[in-house]
Amino acid sequence: MFEEVLTCGAVVGAATYAAWSLLPGALRLALIKHAATLAQHCGLSEPAAEAIRQRAAASSTRNTCGGCSGCAGKQTPASHVMTIKKNVKGN
């Protein structure tokens, strides 16, 4: 019985982690904001929940696409233009 409960917990934990990591960043931030608000209303969190919400709002403005935070600090390379000229022979 204990092994079944342990296995079920591991599967639920792995599924939760996979779902969380595959969610878009904007949706994760919204869920974090709502969880912080809910915890504060239930008395489970101190006023630090407001700081969490402010950090989440600040990080959402840094990312222009709202997806992941992987490319937020990276600079895009300068684009290069290549011109190819064809030699056209006249008649």
pLDDT tens for each residue of 28-64: 888 888 888 888 788 776 666 567 667 766 665 554 4
**pLDDT score at 74:** 63
The closest of 71, 40, 41, 36 to 56, measured between CA atoms, is 36
Q: Considering only residues 3 and 90, tell me which one the structure prediction assigns the higher pLDDT.
A: 3
Reported confidence tier of residue 7, pLDDT bands at 50, 70, 90: very high
Answer yes or no: are the C-beta atoms of 69 and 28 closer than 8 Å: no
Q: How far apart are CA 38 and CA 30, in angstroms?
A: 12
pTM (predicted TM-score): 0.46
- Residue 52 contacts by C-beta under 8 Å, 6 or more apart in sequence? 32, 33, 36
Mean pLDDT rounded to a whole number for the chain:
76
User: Which residues neighbour 72 within 8 Å (Cβ) at sequence distance 6 or greater?
Assistant: 62, 63
Which range, of 4-13, 15-24, 33-42, averages the lowest pLDDT? 33-42
